[in-house]
Amino acid sequence: MSSSQNSATNLQEMSPITVTRYAIINTSAPFDRLKGKESLDAALILASYEMDVSLFFIGNGVYQTQANQQAESIAHKDYLATFKALEFYDIEDIYLCQDSLTERGLATDSVFDDAQYLSAEQIKALLPQFDVVLTF
Amino acid sequence: MSILHIVRSNGFNDDRLQQCLNLLAENDKLLLIDDGVYNVSHPTCASLTQAIFAIDSHCQARNIVEQGNVKQINIEEFVNLSEHAEKVITWQ
């Protein structure tokens, strides 16, 4: 009993920082292995534990944000449809890289109604405010 | 206020290196591990003003010799580096 209490105390001492703010950076196109799906799963799991989650889409990640993609036509599961669930998990801070969209000839448009479009420089300036940054 | 960015793939193979460099701030540090150590001779790394590190054993395994602006470090120094960073971003 006492030893388990000790280990619990040690654990607390070892992690004095409370991690609350997560940035999840999506850098992969929708069918690039399972990265997009795994990223979305991670975001929803973190949010369900009441962590503050922001989503970023940069590089090929911006392809995930385009409307009217039909995954079923190549026999894939349409995980992009799950983006609709983000608002129910209070994931509202969604940032798209304008530079990446422009490079790829994509319009400033996405499946997200209230996404914010930022330059790479603006995204760089945002990153320091997060406790943990994960890339997928 | 400094972020340690870890790149573990070759910049000629995918765009992880480029994505990292796009978001690398002036005081940030770049650490190359695994196939990422090939980037010591990537043209985009040569012009960086930020501190660049590469794991020595990973370089030795690939016969990559010490380059001007890249400091080779061992695993212990890697641990130190990550401990002193405000946060670590692994580009993978």
pLDDT 10s digits, A93-104: 999 999 999 998
Task: Please say if the pLDDT value at position A35 is more than 70.
Answer: yes
pLDDT > 90: what percent of chain A? 74
8 A C-beta contact, residue B2 and residue B85: yes
Single out the residue of A26, A23, A48 nearest to residue A132, CA to CA: A23
Return d(Cα A98, Cα A106) in angstroms, integer. Answer: 9
pLDDT tens track, chain B, 92 positions: 699 999 999 998 899 999 999 999 999 999 999 999 989 988 899 889 999 999 999 999 988 888 889 999 999 999 999 999 999 999 98
Nearest to A132 among B15, B24, B87 (CB): B87
Q: State the CB neighbour count (10 A cutoff) for residue B68.
A: 7
Confidence of residue A15 (pLDDT cuts 50, 70, 90): low
User: Which pLDDT score is estimated for A17?
Assistant: 55
Which residue type occupies B89?
A: I
Output the CA torsion sign for A100, A45, A88, A127.
negative
Contact yes or no for B91 and A133 at CB 8 A: no
Taking contacts as CB-CB distances below 8 angstroms, the residues of chain B near A60 are 15
Query: Does A133 contact B86 at a Cβ distance shorter than 8 Å?
Result: no
Using DSSP bridges, classify how beta strands B3-7 and A93-97 pair: parallel, antiparallel or unpaired. unpaired
Q: Does the structure show a pLDDT above 90 at A16?
A: no
Q: Where are the domains of chain B?
A: 3-91
Please list the residues that pair with B71 across neighbouring strands. B53
When the pLDDT of each residue in chain A is averaged and rounded to a whole number, the result is 88
**In this complex, do B91 and A27 lie within 8 Å of one another by their Cβ atoms?**
yes
Q: Could you tell me which residue, A38 or A17, shows the higher pLDDT?
A: A38
pLDDT digits (tens, 9 = 90+) for A45-62: 999 999 999 999 999 999
DSSP three-state, residue A119: coil
The pLDDT value recorded for residue A10 is 54
The alpha-carbon gap from B18 to the nearest alpha carbon of chain A, in Å, equals: 9
Which of 3.60.110.10, 3.40.630.30, 3.40.50.720, 3.40.1260.10 is the CATH number of B3-91? Answer: 3.40.1260.10
Q: Look at residue A5 and tell me whether its pLDDT is greater than 80.
A: no
| pLDDT in the model for residue A114 | 92
Residues 49-88 (B) with a CB less than 8 A from some CB of A: 86-87
B19 contacts A133? CB cut-off 8 A: no
* pLDDT score at B46: 86
List of residues 6+ apart from A85 with CB closer than 8 A: A44
Range list of H helices, chain B: 16-22, 43-46, 56-61, 75-84
Domain range annotation of chain A: 27-135
Mean pLDDT of A25-54: 94
One CATH from 2.60.120.10, 3.10.150.10, 3.40.50.300, 3.40.1260.10 for A27-135: 3.40.1260.10
Alpha carbon distances (Å) from A76 to A67, A73, A86: 16, 7, 21
pLDDT band, very low/low/confident/very high, at A3 (cuts 50, 70, 90): very low
- ipTM of the modeled complex: 0.72
A131 has pLDDT over 50: yes
